[in-house]
């Protein structure tokens, strides 16, 4: 989980999601503002900068989505298929070359047209600054072909690239304007201050005022060539969740983005509406496969017993309405997701049988988790206690080992802890991001899983097949096969994708949650 | 008349202090909690660890204090929590007072290098905010009940050492102590027989006042995830669980009220005892009376 604190938004996405929007009788006064008025959005800020090439936070993605267009985008909440925004794209058969061709006219606020130079500058600047999102274009050479065409050439096959390009960090800037204000394509770039004062994009809105700790106001981009937004002004306020609820109930805000399932449940109906969808976060259990550290949990039979001992439905209830059980490590919104898998089903008899055949003999298992972390409102501490209780029912004794996240992550990363509960948010919406969970890779090693581990050989073969697969269907099938095998011999037990909840004033339309940028405010009406 | 007045007044002061309405409230509440500690298992309507599908249920006849995120009965957990927080805090205060008082008494009686070392060590600890230092120690040792007590002991002994040392310094030059030493008794015997009885009162008053602080510190560490390990029903941990669900107010409110009531009760009692037992307070009260 590289740069976990900057990971993609916990916003929900589409396919397996539930959408609940109803009217309430709670007597609240929240209602949609008149067209042309300001739309007030309450968000718990993690904003550091409005410079897209430096921003990789949730609030930053929400903000930059409104002020910068990207070469490619996703339609609504569907992140499985990138579609054109500024440009259309083709990808070579070997998945090494992505060619972007600018489609139609796109204008910056000063009236100038977006061209290939702007795309090349924006991408090279992102790479050269070496900021948090720079890794998105690691190993990619950006070339201008002509005034409307750009080639992105990767050293190795990079089928995920089209799914990376919609990230708001890859927003297209007005290169002339940014260069005139200190912008460069190396680490001497000095345009951040300028970009925190005004935006230089071609999207529907531009920054009016910005205070990264309290409030951002957006005004219309007068040169925007797309459909004119309903609201001429956006006010993005930094508000803690408890106050968000009060604000949206009272009508002070029209959208609240950070309420958990319990808080949001009371707001479904009447003058407020609730949209609940599965987030892209995946909470999973892990068990160390290295016998030196894992002891009895390194036995694959033990992990298989755990897979059947967990009551996923009950754990899903704890995570709130809209949460889903992922079949594998790839979330439900992405290509290659596994809808369900017989290996991960609640079956107490099977769990006891597997446990009886394993080397487990009643030992106490140390179970690590961060006790100060809530993933989309779901406290890992609560989930860990429920898991402890469920495993006890089949005869597995778990000793909870809570630690603050500052130290628990170090323990997990050391690869020397016995077992635990963790979560993962994707860096980009593509299944290749989840190869980190395979033997010898980043997350795999945290559970002591190497290519030499028992049963890892078959997984390694399937990893190679997934990397070589080309096209959505072939890639999807390859990643599904990989996850099925991981569910048999792997140390990770996918437990739940918690829900993300957004509460809006009743009558607001066009609010579609997206796991990368939360929502497109220009589409709200 | 003056002699009669000064010899009888101290005997009356403890009852006078205890007759204060706040003291009576404190004693009643504290006695109530001690009763809960003793009779806890008989009073719990349910297993405090038993999870149920009835999650975050509000107050009802079945669950007087409602249920928490895992469907556990909050009343049962508050009662069970009393059997953890109160005895542990008593243990901590006892340990802290014993260690601190012993070190303070030795420092005061021996003086010199021993005094310097002990007091500078105490100054070092007192230089840090209590909760911050306790957090550092608890985080370094790892979350557990034992480690929380160790962390709290590390940060609480100096105040006893300082108070005891100052009392010993006052007592060691009194005639009967000097006389004892001149008669050849050892310093430890002098400490035990002549000094301790004369400093015990104020130290005891301090322990009563400190009990509330111990409860708060233990709860604070658990609230921050550095104390008790779940699913143990400890009050601070319960408050921590509850504040994540502000719509279900009862999850945090009842353990919070439990902490509040026991802390206030012991503060009231401690105030009264301090008034009654601290020689300086006696003097002040005596002056007013005269």
All structural domains of chain A, each given as residue ranges with its CATH number in brackets, are: 4-276+500-523 (3.40.190.10), 282-497 (3.10.105.10)
> Which pLDDT value is given to residue A374?
84
Chain B residues closer than 8 Å to A242 by CB:
246
Question: At residue A48, does pLDDT exceed 80?
Answer: yes
A401 and B229: CB-CB below 8 Å? yes
Query: Are the Cβ atoms of A389 and B70 closer than 8 angstroms?
Result: yes
**Best residue in B135, B138, B229, B234 for a mutation probing chain A (most A CBs within 10 Å):** B229
Please judge whether A317 and B55 are an interchain contact, meaning their C-beta atoms are less than 8 angstroms apart: yes
Is B55 a member of any domain? no
B interface with A, Cβ–Cβ below 8 Å: 51, 53, 55-56, 69-70, 139, 142-143, 225-226, 229-231, 241, 244-248
Contact assessment for residue A302 and residue A491, using Cβ atoms and an 8 Å cutoff: no
Is there a contact between B56 and A262 if contact means CB atoms under 8 Å apart? yes
Residues of A in contact with B221 (CB under 8 A): none
Higher pLDDT, A285 or A410: A285
The angle, 0 to 180 degrees and rounded to 10, between the axes of the packed helices B235-243 and B196-223 is 30
Residues listed for chain A? 525
Find chain A residues with C-beta within 8 A of B69's C-beta: 318, 379, 382
Is residue B57 in some structural domain?
A: no
| CA of B26 vs chain A CAs: smallest distance (Å) | 35
Percentage of residues in chain A having pLDDT higher than 70 = 93
Q: B51 and A389 in contact by Cβ < 8 A?
A: yes
Residue B64 pLDDT > 50:
yes
Position A11 scores a pLDDT of 36
CA atoms within 13 Å, Cβ hemisphere of A101 = 4
pLDDT band with cut points at 50, 70 and 90 for residue A323: very high
User: If you average pLDDT over residues A381-406, what whole number do you get?
Assistant: 94
CB–CB of B225 and A372 under 8 A? yes
Given this model, what pLDDT does residue A32 score? 60
With a cut of 90, say whether residue B290 has pLDDT above it: no
Instruction: Look at B225 and A318 and tell me if their CB atoms are within 8 Å.
Output: no
Tell me the pLDDT band of A18, cut-offs 50, 70 and 90.
Answer: very low
The predicted pLDDT at position B96 comes to 93
Which residues of chain B lie closer than 8 angstroms to A382, CB-CB?
Answer: 69-70, 241, 244
Residue located via tokens 């106001």: A217
Is the pTM above the cut of 0.95?
A: no
B241/A374 touch (CB, cutoff 8 Å), yes or no: no
Residue in B with minimal Cα distance to A259 = B245
Residues of chain A contacting B138 with CB distance shorter than 8 Å: none
B186: its two tokens: 């050892």
Q: How far apart are CA B239 and CA B254, in angstroms?
A: 8
CB of B171 within 8 A of CB of B189? no
Domain assignment of residue B183, yes or no: yes
Cα distance between residue B246 and residue B252, in whole Å: 8
Mean pLDDT confidence for A179-198: 96
Question: What mean pLDDT do residues A471-494 have?
Answer: 95
pLDDT in tens, B141-176: 888 888 888 999 999 999 999 999 988 888 877 888
pLDDT band at A14 (very low <50, low <70, confident <90, very high): very low
Residues in contact with A215: Cβ distance below 8 Å, sequence separation at least 6, in sequence order: A209, A235, A236, A237, A238
- In B, which residues are within 8 Å of A381 by CB distance? 225, 230, 241
Mean pLDDT over residues B258-272, rounded? Answer: 92
If one compares B219 and A407, the residue with the highest pLDDT of the two is B219
By C-alpha distance, the chain B residue nearest A261 is B245
* pLDDT at residue B7 tops 80: no
| Contact at CB, A404 and B51, closer than 8 angstroms | no
Query: In 3-state terms, what secondary structure has residue A504?
Result: strand
> Which of A374, A381, A387 is the best residue to mutate to test the B interface, defined by the most B CB atoms within 10 Å of its own CB?
A381
**Domain presence at residue B232:** yes
Task: Determine the residue of chain B that is closest to A383 in CA distance.
Answer: B70
- Residue A422: both structure tokens together: 């963790």
Residues 6 or more apart from A498 whose CB is under 8 A from it?
Answer: A10, A261, A278, A279, A281, A283, A319, A320, A323, A375, A376, A377, A378
pLDDT over 90 at B209, yes or no: no
Return the residue of B nearest to A315 by Cα: B70
Query: What pLDDT does B281 receive?
Result: 54
**Cβ separation of A262 and B229 shorter than 8 Å?**
no
Number of domains in chain B: 1
Q: Is A263–B53 a contact, with Cβ atoms under 8 angstroms apart?
A: no
User: Would you say A90 and A99 are in contact if contact means Cβ atoms under 8 Å apart?
Assistant: yes
- Please say if the pLDDT value at position B5 is more than 90: no
Over 80: is that where the pLDDT of B267 sits? yes
The mean pLDDT of B123-147, rounded to a whole number, is 87
Q: Calculate how close chain A gets to B142, using CA atoms only, in Å.
A: 7
Tell which residue, A249, A215, A245, A219, has the closest CA to residue A45.
A215
- Residues A453-462 have pLDDT tens digits of 988 999 999 9
Domain that holds residue B184: 2-46+63-289
ω into residue B231 within 30 of 0, thus cis?
yes
Of the pLDDT bands very low, low, confident and very high (cuts 50, 70, 90), residue A22 is: very low
Q: pLDDT band at A36, cuts 50/70/90?
A: low
Reported as a single tens digit per residue, the pLDDT across A238-260 is 998 888 988 999 999 999 998 88
Q: Is the predicted pLDDT of residue A6 greater than 50, yes or no?
A: no
* Residue environment code for A347-365, b if the CB has 16+ CB neighbours within 10 A, otherwise e: beebbbbbbeebebeeeeb
C-beta atoms of B53 and A314 within 8 A: yes
Query: Across the A/B interface, how many CB contacts are shorter than 8 Å?
Result: 59
Residues of chain A with Cβ-Cβ distance to B55 below 8 Å are 317-318
Angstroms from B36 CA to nearest CA on chain A: 26
Nearest residue in B to A371, CA atom: B225
Instruction: Give the torsion sign (CA, B84, B90, B94, B96).
Output: positive
> At B16, is the pLDDT very low, low, confident or very high (cuts 50, 70, 90)?
low
Does the structure show a pLDDT above 50 at B134? yes
Contacts of A503 in chain B (CB under 8 A): none
Measured between beta carbons, the chain B residues lying within 8 angstroms of A405 are none
Q: How far is B240 from chain A (nearest CA, A)?
A: 10
Cα–Cα distance, A323 to A278 (Å, whole number) = 5
**How high does pLDDT run on average in chain A?**
90
Distance from CA of A402 to the nearest CA of B (A): 7
Whether residue B181 is contained in a domain is answered as yes
Task: Give the model's pLDDT for residue B14.
Answer: 53
Contact call for residues B26 and B265 (beta carbons, < 8 A): yes
Q: E strands of A70-213, at which residues?
A: 72-75, 78-84, 87-91, 97-102, 140-146, 149-154, 205-211
Nearest CA in chain B to A379: B244
**pLDDT given at position A35:** 57
Q: Which residues on chain A are in Cβ contact (under 8 Å) with B141?
A: none
Structure tokens at A185: 């394509």
The residue among A156 and B275 whose pLDDT is bigger is A156
Q: How distant is the Cα of B230 from the closest Cα of chain A, in angstroms?
A: 7
- pLDDT at position B284, please? 43
Q: Which positions ≥6 away from A35 have C-beta within 8 Å? A: A230, A231, A525
DSSP H or E stretch at residue A457: helix A456-468
How far is the alpha carbon of A431 from chain B, nearest alpha carbon, in Å?
32
Minimum distance, in Å, between the CA of residue A214 and any CA atom of chain B:
23
Q: What is the pLDDT of residues A131-149, one digit of tens each?
A: 999 999 999 999 999 999 9
The partner residue sitting opposite B231, judged by closest CB among A318, A372, A385, is A385
Min distance A362 CA to chain B CA atoms (Å):
20
Cβ neighbours for A493, distance < 8 A, ≥ 6 positions apart: A284, A285, A286, A287, A303, A306, A307, A310, A344
Chain B neighbors of A261, CB-CB under 8 A: none
Is B245 or B130 the better-scoring residue by pLDDT? B130
**Per the CB < 8 Å rule, is B241 touching A382?**
yes
Euclidean distance between CA atoms B214 and B224, whole angstroms: 15
pLDDT digits (tens, 9 = 90+) for A288-308: 999 999 999 999 999 999 999
Q: Cβ separation of A404 and B70 shorter than 8 Å?
A: no
pLDDT at B15 > cutoff 60: no
**Sheet harboring A149-154: ordered strands across?**
A87-91, A97-102, A149-154, A140-146
Q: What residues are paired with A233 via a beta bridge?
A: A38, A219
Give residue B122's region: left, alpha or beta (phi > 0; psi -120 to 50).
alpha
Cβ atoms A230, A35 nearer than 8 A: yes
% pLDDT > 90, chain A: 77
Q: How many CA atoms lie within 13 A of A493 on its CB side?
A: 30
**Closest-CA residue of chain B to A407:** B139
DSSP string computed for A423-442? EE--SSSSGGGGGGGSTTSH
Selecting from A374, A386, A407 the residue whose C-beta is nearest the C-beta of B70 gives A386
Closest Cα in chain A to B50: A389
In the predicted structure, residue A342 carries a pLDDT above the cut 80: yes
State the CATH number of the domain containing residue B82.
1.10.3720.10
- The yes-or-no verdict on residue B12 having pLDDT over 70 is no
CB–CB contact A404 B139 (8 Å): yes
Q: Where residue B278 falls among pLDDT bands split at 50, 70, 90?
A: low
């Amino acid at each position: 989980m590289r740069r976990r604190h900057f990971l993609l938004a916990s916003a929900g996405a589409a396919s397996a999601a539930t959408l609940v929007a109803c009217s309430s009788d709670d007597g609240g006064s929240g209602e949609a503002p008149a067209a042309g008025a300001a739309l007030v959005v309450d968000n718990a800020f993690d904003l550091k900068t409005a410079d897209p090439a430096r921003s990789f936070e949730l609030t930053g993605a929400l903000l930059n989505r409104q002020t910068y267009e990207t070469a490619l985008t996703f339609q609504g909440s569907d992140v499985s298929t990138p579609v054109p925004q500024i440009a259309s794209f083709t990808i070579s058969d070997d998945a090494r070359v992505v060619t972007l061709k600018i489609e139609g006219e796109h204008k910056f606020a000063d009236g100038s047209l977006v061209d290939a130079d702007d795309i090349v500058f924006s991408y090279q600047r992102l790479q050269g600054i070496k900021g948090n999102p720079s890794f998105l274009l690691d190993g990619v050479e950006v070339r201008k072909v002509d005034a409307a065409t750009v080639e992105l050439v990767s050293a190795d096959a990079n089928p995920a690239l089209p799914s990376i390009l919609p990230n708001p960090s890859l927003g297209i800037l007005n290169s002339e304007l940014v260069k005139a204000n200190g912008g460069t394509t190396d680490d001497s770039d000095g345009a951040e201050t300028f970009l925190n004062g005004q935006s230089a994009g071609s999207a529907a809105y531009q920054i009016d005022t910005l205070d990264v700790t309290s409030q951002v106001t957006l005004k219309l981009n007068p040169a925007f060539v797309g459909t004119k937004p309903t609201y001429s002004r956006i006010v993005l306020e930094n508000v803690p969740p408890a106050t968000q609820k009060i604000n949206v109930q009272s009508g002070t805000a029209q959208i609240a983005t950070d309420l958990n399932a319990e808080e949001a449940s009371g707001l479904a109906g009447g003058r407020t509406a609730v949209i609940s969808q599965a987030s892209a976060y995946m909470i999973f259990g892990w068990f160390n496969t290295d016998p030196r550290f894992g002891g009895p949990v390194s036995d694959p039979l033990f992990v298989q017993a755990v897979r059947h001992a967990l009551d996923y439905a009950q754990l899903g209830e704890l995570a709130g309405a809209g949460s889903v059980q992922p079949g594998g490590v790839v979330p439900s919104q992405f290509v290659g997701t596994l809808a369900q898998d017989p290996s991960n089903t609640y079956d107490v008899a099977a769990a006891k049988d597997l446990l009886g055949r394993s080397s487990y003999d009643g030992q106490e298992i140390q179970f690590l988790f961060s006790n100060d972390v809530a993933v989309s409102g779901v406290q890992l501490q609560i989930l860990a206690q429920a898991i402890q209780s469920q495993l006890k029912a089949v005869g597995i004794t778990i000793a909870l080992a809570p630690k603050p996240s500052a130290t628990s992550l170090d323990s997990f990363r050391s690869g020397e802890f016995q077992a635990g509960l963790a979560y993962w948010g994707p860096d980009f919406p593509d299944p290749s991001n989840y190869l980190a969970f395979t033997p010898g890779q980043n997350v795999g090693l945290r559970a002591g899983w190497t290519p030499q581990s028992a049963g890892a050989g078959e997984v390694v073969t399937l990893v190679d097949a997934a990397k070589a697969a080309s096209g959505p269907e072939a890639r999807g099938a390859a990643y599904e096969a990989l996850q099925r095998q991981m569910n048999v011999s792997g140390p990770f037990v996918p437990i739940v994708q918690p829900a993300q909840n957004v509460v809006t004033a009743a009558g607001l339309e066009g609010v579609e949650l997206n796991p990368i940028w939360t929502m497109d405010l220009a589409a709200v009406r | 008349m003056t002699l009669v007045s000064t010899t009888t007044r101290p005997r009356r002061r403890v009852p006078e202090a205890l007759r204060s309405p706040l003291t009576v409230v404190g004693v009643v509440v504290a006695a109530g909690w001690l009763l809960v500690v003793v009779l806890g298992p008989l009073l719990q309507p349910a297993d405090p660890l038993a999870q149920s599908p009835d999650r975050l249920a509000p107050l009802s006849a079945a669950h007087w204090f409602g249920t928490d995120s895992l469907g556990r009965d909050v009343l049962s957990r508050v009662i069970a929590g009393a059997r953890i927080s109160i005895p542990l805090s008593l243990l901590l205060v006892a340990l802290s007072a014993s260690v601190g008082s012993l070190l303070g008494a030795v420092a005061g009686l021996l003086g010199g290098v021993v005094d310097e070392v002990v007091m500078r060590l105490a100054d070092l600890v007192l230089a840090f905010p209590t909760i911050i230092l306790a957090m550092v120690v608890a985080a370094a040792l790892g979350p557990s009940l034992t480690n929380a007590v160790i962390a709290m002991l590390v940060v609480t002994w100096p105040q006893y050492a300082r108070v005891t040392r100052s009392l010993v310094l006052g007592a060691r030059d009194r005639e009967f102590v000097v006389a004892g030493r001149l008669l050849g008794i050892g310093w430890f015997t002098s400490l035990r027989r002549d000094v301790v009885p004369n400093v015990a009162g104020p130290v005891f008053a301090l322990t009563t006042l400190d009990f509330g602080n111990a409860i708060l510190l233990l709860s604070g560490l658990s609230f921050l995830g550095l104390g008790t390990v779940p699913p143990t029903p400890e009050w601070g941990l319960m408050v921590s669980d509850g504040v994540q669900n502000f719509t279900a107010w009862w999850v945090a409110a009842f353990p919070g009220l439990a902490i509040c009531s026991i802390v206030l009760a012991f503060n009231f009692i401690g105030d009264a005892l301090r008034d009654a037992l601290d020689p300086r307070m006696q003097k002040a009260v005596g002056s007013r009376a005269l």
